[in-house]
Amino acid sequence: NAGVTQTPKFQVLKTGQSMTLQCAQDMNHEYMSWYRQDPGMGLRLIHYSVGAGITDQGEVPNGYNVSRSTTEDFPLRLLSAAPSQTSVYFCASRRAGTEAFFGQGTRLTVV
Partner 1 sequence: AQSVTQLGSHVSVSEGALVLLRCNYSSSVPPYLFWYVQYPNQGLQLLLKYTSAATLVKGINGFEAEFKKSETSFHLTKPSAHMSDAAEYFCAVSEARHAGGTSYGKLTFGQGTILTVHP
Task: Out of 45, 52, 71, 77, point to the residue binding partner 1 (CB under 8 A).
Answer: 45
Question: Any contact of residue 92 with partner 1 (CB under 8 A)?
Answer: yes
Distance CA 27, CA 20 (A): 22
Note if the bond before 8 is cis, omega within 30 degrees: yes
Contact with partner 1 (CB under 8 A) among 89, 90, 108, 110: 90
Q: How far is the CB of 17 from partner 1 (least distance, A)?
A: 25
- Binding residue for partner 1 (CB under 8 A) from 13, 23, 43, 76? 43
User: Nearer to partner 1 by C-beta: 49 or 85?
Assistant: 49
Residues near partner 1 (CB under 8 A)? 30-31, 33, 35, 40-45, 48-50, 54, 56, 58-59, 90, 92, 94, 96-100, 102-105
